[in-house]
């Protein structure tokens, strides 16, 4: 885990530098050669799609390469999710130029990714696992880059396999001024769909490991 986190941290610094650098073409090409060397090192042994990485631990709520929370992911902020005393889940993050949409502000699609994840995690946190069936966002104000943000997700209601969830993004210093407001419907797939989607998913040891238990989620820290 320490090594996965070390590589993820180094890669996040690399991608951040790569989108904010002002060096010339010679330095860019030298950096590209270094990046290709690192890629060759990592390609020496790869897992196929559908096999979970060995460090993913459903019981410990761990997904190390999640694009939102994964400590090993180059593109994840990564968010740390926590139970929110006010209900649901929350995360704090400061996002950089990698995620820029309008100059100086967060890409709207990134808000969608983050909200999808927070809403899904809120459902899981409440013991209600589901896939995103519907996701709706209201963009009320641009989300600034480089300032601490607070992201929240909470369950509104549940009926059978359907869970209605909501969430928000705000600046940490103005938490009541909602910049992005999200609502979503998460649905636990019917058994036939579960089988069709996840029949071949295994853990690192080759055991069948379909999602579906509340613990199959990225960690919500105590």
Ligand X SMILES: CCCCC/C=C\C/C=C\C/C=C\C/C=C\CCCC(=O)SCCNC(=O)CCNC(=O)[C@H](O)C(C)(C)COP(=O)(O)OP(=O)(O)OC[C@H]1O[C@@H](n2cnc3c(N)ncnc32)[C@H](O)[C@@H]1OP(=O)(O)O
Count residues contacting ligand X (CB under 6 A)? 23
Residue 13 phi, psi (nearest 5): -65, -40
Q: How far, in Å, are 3, 68, 82, 210, 212 from residue 128 at the CA level?
A: 33, 20, 17, 16, 9
189 touches ligand X by CB under 6 A:
yes
- 58 vs 101, which CB is nearer to ligand X? 58
**162 lies in the site for ligand X, by CB under 6 A:** yes
Instruction: Name the phi and psi angles at 6, rounded to 5.
Output: -65, -45
- Is 213 near ligand X (CB under 6 A)? no
Interface with ligand X includes 161 (CB under 6 A)?
Answer: yes
Are 165 and 184 in contact, with CB atoms under 8 Å apart?
A: yes
Q: Least distance in Å: CB of 119 to ligand X?
A: 7
CB-nearer residue toward ligand X: 47 or 193 = 193
Residue 220 CB, nearest approach to ligand X (Å) = 9
Report residue 142 CA to chain centroid gap. Answer: 20
Report the alpha-carbon distance of residue 28 to residue 31 in Å, rounded.
5
Chain contacts with ligand X (rule: CB under 6 A)? 63, 66, 116-117, 120-121, 124, 131-134, 160-162, 185, 187, 189-190, 193, 211, 216-218
């Amino acid at each position: 885990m320490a090594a996965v986190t070390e590589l993820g941290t180094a890669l996040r610094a690399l991608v951040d530098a790569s989108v904010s650098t002002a060096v010339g073409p010679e330095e860019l090409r030298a950096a590209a050669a270094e990046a290709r060397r690192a890629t060759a090192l990592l390609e020496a042994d790869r897992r196929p799609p559908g096999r979970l990485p060995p460090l993913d631990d459903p019981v410990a709520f761990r997904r190390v390469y999640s694009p939102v929370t994964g400590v090993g992911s180059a593109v994840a902020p990564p968010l740390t999710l926590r139970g929110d005393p006010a209900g649901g889940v929350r995360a704090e993050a400061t996002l950089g130029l990698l995620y820029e949409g309008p100059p100086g502000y967060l890409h709207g699609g990134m808000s969608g990714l983050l909200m999808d994840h927070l809403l899904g995690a809120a459902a899981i946190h409440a013991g209600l696992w589901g896939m995103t069936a519907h996701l709706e966002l209201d963009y009320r104000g641009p989300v600034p880059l480089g300032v601490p943000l607070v992201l929240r997700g909470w369950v509104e209601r549940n009926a059978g396999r359907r869970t209605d969830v909501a969430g928000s993004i705000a600046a940490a210093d103005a938490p009541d001024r909602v910049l992005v407001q999200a609502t979503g419907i998460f649905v636990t797939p019917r058994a036939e769909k579960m089988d069709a989607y996840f029949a071949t998913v295994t853990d690192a040891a080759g055991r069948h490991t379909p999602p579906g238990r509340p613990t199959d989620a990225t960690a919500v820290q105590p």
